[in-house]
């Protein structure tokens, strides 16, 4: 609903209560009204949790540890969906949080990137300090549609990668490697190499995410380095629910794969090299598809639910921990689990 520039729109609680379904989902928080219709399917905790509170006041629920205590970043996202105020006669008095300051008042307004405009030209023309950039790029924002990278529509097409492109692109390459490798080694050796590559991917997944994608504070000062960081992984933390920026574009993954292939060719002989790399590819495809699901999928399986919660905590609470995607095994090995348990 379009609000007047001159007069703030006010709603009764009865009117808000009628917006309690997936087609129109409103909530009240601190006597302010928010329209979550375009957001509930992208809610990190799942759509069902928000649907329970459709048309209701969620002020206390957001602070309830039995439900889930939300971080300030959650309030930052919520603020983007503000549509008006509760009318005077329907306003409630809510108990202030322990700190004495309302959470929404803790959301600071900073001039970073305008998510409603092309992002890459803004990044290229920026002059942020490294400290400011790293802090702001890890504060999640949300749009009900994919973000725009380029003002040019032709260039924009190359920045968008649907999840199904990954298996479509890599499966023939993986099959070709196995076919060529069979010319050098027996099926038994090929199987061993493939399994070894598949298992090795889990460590590679962790290492790339921790040491390459999250080089973060170590990046040199300057716009060019921030621009590169933003393209590689920063944009994913900035817009974590963008469905077309959740899997790696084939051009970038191929560039990384060629470097890995060059390195592995110094270690393995033909045949074993083909099998090992084929195993890495399968591990990578499973990782990328799993990563997409962790952001947009739902399941009643307890392990998958825990894995989803683990990864989204990395995005919404602590980007300096929880680097495992398909498993937290290597986080346990290297001590990069979250400092405190999730509540």
Taking the CA atoms of 122, 127, 131 and 132 in sequence, report the sign of the dihedral they define: negative
Q: Report the distance separating Cα 282 and Cα 167, nearest Å.
A: 9
3-state helix, strand, coil in the chain (%, to 5): 50, 5, 45
Query: How far apart are the C-alpha atoms of 84 and 206, rounded to whole Å?
Result: 43
312 CB burial (10 A radius; 0-12, 13-18, 19+): buried
Hunting for tokens 């629920």 — which residue is that? 61
| Other beta carbons within 10 Å of 98 | 7
Question: 268, 304, 143, 145: which is closest to 196 by C-alpha?
Answer: 268
Phi and psi dihedrals of 23, rounded to 5? -75, -25
Residues 137/236, Cβ–Cβ less than 8 Å = no
Is the separation of the CB atoms in 336 and 321 below 8 Å? yes
Outline where DSSP puts E strands in the chain: 10-11, 20-21, 24-29, 32-35, 82-86
Q: Which residues contribute to the annotated binding site for Zn(2+)?
A: 209, 214, 233, 236-237, 291, 295, 311, 314-315
Q: Which residues are documented as binding site for heme?
A: 43, 70
DSSP label at 57?
B
Exposure of 191 in the CB half-sphere (CA atoms within 13 A): 3
């Amino acid at each position: 609903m379009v609000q007047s520039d001159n007069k703030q729109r006010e709603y009764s609680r009865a009117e808000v209560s009628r917006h309690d379904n997936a087609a129109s989902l409103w909530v009240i928080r601190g006597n302010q009204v928010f329209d979550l219709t375009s957001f509930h399917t992208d809610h990190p905790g799942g759509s069902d949790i928000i649907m329970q509170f459709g048309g209701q006041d969620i002020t206390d629920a957001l602070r309830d540890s039995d439900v889930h205590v939300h971080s300030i970043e959650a309030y930052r996202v919520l603020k983007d969906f503000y549509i008006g105020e509760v009318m005077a006669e329907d306003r409630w008095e809510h108990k202030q949080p322990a700190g004495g300051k309302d959470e929404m008042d803790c959301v600071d307004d900073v001039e970073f990137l305008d998510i409603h405009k092309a992002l890459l030209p803004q990044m290229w023309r920026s002059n942020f300090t490294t400290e400011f950039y790293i802090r702001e790029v890890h504060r999640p924002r949300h749009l009900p549609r994919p973000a725009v990278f380029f003002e040019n529509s032709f260039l924009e097409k190359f920045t968008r990668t649907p999840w199904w492109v990954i298996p479509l692109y890599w499966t023939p390459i993986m099959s070709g490697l196995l076919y060529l490798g069979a010319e050098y080694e027996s099926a038994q050796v090929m199987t061993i190499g493939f399994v070894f590559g598949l298992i090795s991917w889990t460590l590679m997944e962790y290492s790339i995410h921790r040491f390459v994608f999250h080089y973060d504070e170590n990046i040199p000062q300057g716009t060019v380095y921030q621009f590169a960081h933003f393209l590689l992984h920063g944009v994913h933390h900035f817009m974590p629910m963008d469905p077309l920026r959740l899997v790696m574009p084939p051009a970038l993954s191929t560039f990384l794969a060629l470097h890995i292939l060059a390195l592995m060719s110094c270690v393995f002989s033909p045949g074993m090299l083909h099998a090992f790399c084929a195993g890495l590819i399968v591990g990578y495809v499973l990782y990328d598809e799993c990563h997409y699901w962790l952001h947009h999928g739902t399941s009643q399986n307890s392990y998958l639910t825990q894995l989803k919660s683990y990864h989204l905590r990395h995005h919404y609470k602590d980007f300096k921990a929880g680097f495992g995607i398909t498993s937290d095994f290597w986080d346990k090995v290297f001590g990069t689990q979250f400092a405190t348990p999730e509540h």
